[in-house]
Structure 1
């Protein structure tokens, strides 16, 4: 018997909430990658790992928030715990592979293509692994063309996100990139869900293992959400991430050395006693100012 599938059981609530989480994870991840690149003294592996975990948690959380709104009228839906947890690990690991590739090798065409393909296929694997965790009194079937389209969207979204991670510097441009990334990730998810067709095995009430969505998904979502909040706190209180673009573009040494004072300024005159450059002969105007001080 053909099942009646509804992917928007709670209306716009789950798609909007899922999109917000995808954007949040993307924004935090992009800022962490930028942080690893703008300061050569920063601990690059740590910031890249935090960025990968933020993006991976954002994608995973987006998927399962959206799945709360997935409903088949003729059967209940449960989830296998081990596969659900495994899908989170897959999301973080594959995003980490792509992030570390571009973080250390840059955004060259070859590197970006390879990293985008690995990350995109990994994100798609997370999606379909999460779908495989579903337990219902029926069989889930997929339309091959729509699945292939979802894979292409995943690879394109991952490639664009990795390019933005190493190319975008300004806060507003990074925010815009994360919003686009959220659209791409959500588009990949709902394209994949459009490929789903459920064939129900008779009447409701068959025996199958697994936890109900409310007893499993809601508690499990708390972990990634709390992690994203903590990552947000780290990002907000890091001075290199809250300063303006002009500060990011300055050298990473002490502030006094990074600022080049204007010639003939009061700062120049008062620091003349300590600086050897006033020992050099200069124009008569400079010599006159030196004698006055």
Structure 2
């Protein structure tokens, strides 16, 4: 049977990439806050919702709005669809927690990346299992393994960016790369799929929710998540800047503490030329 992944042209792939990009930006910023905040748990949950929920799960079902099977009607099983969302968020949370709280990056980073990547792939294929179409679907082993590899590499890269990327410009660059990786994993997994009639009745409409009916809850979820996290991250950024402005000591980009106190600067050697002139 003929499978069409771009039945709406480039609209759905572009929207799917945009969802992944937005989720990645917010997720990375929340994860950065988790490393320096006393409320690390709350920030990790926010990061998992942004990256796992908006960046991965919403991206998947946005892309699926452009998927069709020739001669078949597609419906979605809502319990399995919601379960795939829960898996994406929980597994991303576990991966983030391992990477943020692990004492040895050489172990924590690949372990967290592997767990997160496997969770991303599990979310994808569980989301596909939630699709009722009245046809039998099969997957090519080679492309499935490749999609799993892409998911693990993308997740590991996301965690590395979370640990090392500083500043909004670098975060946006990292999110652009993450969007490509997540979308690449999705469409590689879709390319692994083939469908045939089997013994199913093609004339009956399968049970479940129509793809278009997913659009309203998807858009509502995205709007709530994005607005909420933007406000959360924005308030946190303002608080950090206000604290830095009110405090004579501030942190530099590499984590060193800089001070404006002349005595301290003289001892540290940063005011050496001025102190020498005074002598």
State TM-score, norm by structure 2: 0.85
8 Å contact 1:31–1:241 — kept in the other structure? no
Matched-pair contact (CA < 8 Å) for 1:83–1:129: yes
Deviations 1:33-91 (A, max 9, x none): 1112234xx31111111111110112000000000000012111000010000000000
Are residues 106 and 228 of structure 1, via their aligned partners in 2, closer, same or farther at CA, if it must alter by over 3 Å? farther
> CA 1:161 to 1:241, structure 2 compared with 1: closer, same or farther past 3 Å?
farther
- Pick aligned residue for 1:94 from 91, 95, 117: 91
| TM-aligned CA distance change 1:28 to 1:242, over 3 Å | farther
Give SS of 1:69's match: coil
Q: Pick closer, same or farther for the CA change 1:240–1:167 going to 2, 3 Å.
A: farther
Q: Tell me the equivalent position of 1:141.
A: 138
For 2:248, what is the secondary structure of its paired residue?
helix
Which runs of 5 or more residues in structure 1 are unaligned? 265-281, 287-293
C-alpha deviation, 1:166, in angstroms: 1.2
| Number of residues of Structure 1 aligned to a counterpart in Structure 2 | 258
Contact residue 77 and residue 134 of structure 1 kept, 8 A: yes
After the TM superposition, which residues 112-123 of structure 1 pair with which residues of structure 2 at under 5 Å, given as runs?
A: 112-123=109-120
SS in 1 for 2:8: coil
Separation of aligned partners in 2, 1:64 and 1:80: 13
Matches within 5 A, 1:228-267: 228-239=226-237, 255-258=247-250, 260-261=259-260, 263=262
Cα separation, 1, equivalents of 2:152 and 2:276: 62
Q: CA RMSD in A?
A: 2.6
Structure (1 or 2) with the larger CA radius of gyration? 1
Which structure 2 residue ranges, 5 or more long, are not aligned?
251-257, 264-274
Tell me how far 1:169 sits from its aligned partner: 1.4
Shift in Å, 1:229:
2.5
Q: After superposition, where does 1:36-115 map in structure 2 within 5 Å?
A: 36-39=34-37, 42-57=38-53, 58-105=55-102, 108-115=105-112
- For 1:236 and 1:6, the matched residues in 2 are separated by 40
- Pairing of 1:1-293 with structure 2 (within 5 A): 3-39=1-37, 42-57=38-53, 58-105=55-102, 108-201=105-198, 204-215=202-213, 217-225=214-222, 226-239=224-237, 255-258=247-250, 260-261=259-260, 263=262
Q: In the aligned structure 2, how far is the partner of 1:107 from the partner of 1:255?
A: 32
> Using a 3 Å threshold, how does the CA distance of structure 1 residues 77 and 44 change in structure 2: closer, same or farther?
same
Q: Give the Å deviation of 1:220.
A: 2.6
Secondary structure in 2 matching 1:49: helix
Distance 1:107 1:135, change over 3 A: farther
Provide the TM-score with structure 1 as the length reference: 0.81
Detail structure 1 runs of 4+ shifted over 4 Å in the superposition: 240-243, 251-254, 282-286
Contact 2:144/2:192 (<8 A) preserved? yes
Shift of 1:96: 0.3
